[in-house]
Amino acid sequence: MELTPIELERYSRQMQLPGFGEKGQKQLKASTALVTGVGGLGGTVALYLAVAGIGKLILVRGGELRRDDLNRQILMTDDWVGKPRVFKAKETLSKINPDVEIEAVYDYVTPENVDELVQQADIALDCAFDFAERDLLNAACVRWGRPMVEAAMSGMDAYLTTIIPGETPCLSCIFPEKPDWDRWGFGVLGAVSGTLACLSALEAIKVLTGLGQPLTGELLTMELNSATFAKRRPYHDPNCPVCGHFHQQNLTATITRNQVAKTVYV
């Protein structure tokens, strides 16, 4: 996929990055990212993927903008209160970077639409409000073998990991029991959701282009009250109801390999 003269100019600074270059830019242009949510997290993720030159964004979010969203939802404007967020997100992003194709889906992630959405994407970014949508997206990404950047926050705490189905723990391995914070809503600062969003967009860029080392199999926890960052290795559950079948397949492959080895060498 070739870059136009405008694209070469627009992205010239990031193409100077070692490990990214024109090759990374072309890989990004050839990629589609699915972002669930266009709020403080998803909207900011979409913004940074758009300015970086992702080829296509699929934005999925039902619901209308409320005035109390405006402290963090940077794609929105005050005159849009009461109207569907996802269409404003598309409008703002198109003005910022008209070279990015944007599909706005005015809906939530549901059992009916999740497979079709995931199949169209090279990567998914989980920025949904609640765990019901997060679980649906995780299961579909495992089903279709798509990487998923998992980003979530509660108050001043945030966590981030990159899931590669079959290689890393999935969301269900990491959180077999769901915390109940998502039911109640919580206080949130735009700078907190924005911090997590920037790191999430960076994870997607890394996975899509091979730049740097993504957080695969690692959970980054951020306590932003004290600016404390830590990395943990989450448990990869061999009996996970969502991704455990990969473990069984690997076990069978290992047994088969061992049998072949015995046949050859014994």
Give the interface with Zn ion as residue ranges (CB under 5 A): 170, 172-173, 240, 242-243
What 3 state SS string does 245-258 have?
HHHHHHHHHHHHHH
Residue 4 Cβ, how far from Zn ion at the closest point, in Å? Answer: 41
Q: What is the side-by-side order of every strand in the sheet holding 157-163?
A: 101-105, 56-60, 32-36, 123-126, 148-154, 157-163, 219-223, 228-232
Distances (CA, A) of 238 to 172, 178, 215, 251: 11, 19, 20, 10
Q: Using alpha carbons only, how large is the chain's radius of gyration in Å?
A: 19
82: left (phi over 0), alpha (psi -120 to 50) or beta: left
Q: Which is nearer to Zn ion, 118 or 173 (CB)?
A: 173
Q: Which is nearer to Zn ion, 102 or 243 (CB)?
A: 243
Residue type, 116: E
Q: Which is nearer to Zn ion, 141 or 151 (CB)?
A: 141
CB 217 within 8 A of CB 169: yes
Q: Which is nearer to Zn ion, 111 or 176 (CB)?
A: 176
The residue with its CB nearest to Zn ion is 240
Q: Which is nearer to Zn ion, 201 or 215 (CB)?
A: 215
Residue 40 Cβ, how far from Zn ion at the closest point, in Å? Answer: 27
Residue 158 Cβ, how far from Zn ion at the closest point, in Å? Answer: 21
Residue 242 Cβ, how far from Zn ion at the closest point, in Å? Answer: 5
Residue 17 Cβ, how far from Zn ion at the closest point, in Å? Answer: 33
Give Dmax over CA atoms of the chain in angstroms.
Answer: 77
Residue type, 93: L
Q: Which is nearer to Zn ion, 188 or 243 (CB)?
A: 243
Q: Which is nearer to Zn ion, 127 or 243 (CB)?
A: 243
The closest of 208, 155, 181 to 48, measured between CA atoms, is: 208
Residue 136 Cβ, how far from Zn ion at the closest point, in Å? Answer: 14
Residue 51 Cβ, how far from Zn ion at the closest point, in Å? Answer: 33
From the number of C-beta atoms within 10 Å of its C-beta (0-12, 13-18, 19+), residue 81 rates as: middle
Place of tokens 């569907």: 84
Place of tokens 């934005």: 59
